Amino acid sequence: MNTARSTLAVMALSTLFALAACQPAEGPAERAGKQIDNAAEKVGDQVEKAGDKIKDATKEAKKGLSN
């Protein structure tokens, strides 16, 4: 009984690893999606930098008005 369970466990793990190795290649839609994600991340970074510059400019303008 114990040998049968061990054999079954080994077969199940072997099947799992074999199926994991058979993952299909990345298709054009997935590549396009990754490119869109990268572009959106870059845009977000630029927007954040622009917001920081606006905040800094606003602080400088307030200092100039209060002097």
Q: What is the pTM of this model?
A: 0.52
Quickly state the pLDDT bin for 62 (edges 50, 70, 90): confident
**Residue 40: enclosing H or E segment and its boundaries?**
helix 28-66
> What Å distances lie between residue 62 and 3, 36, 50, 51, CA to CA?
80, 39, 18, 16
What average pLDDT does the structure give for the chain?
86
CA distance 32 to 23: 19
CA distance 64 to 61: 5
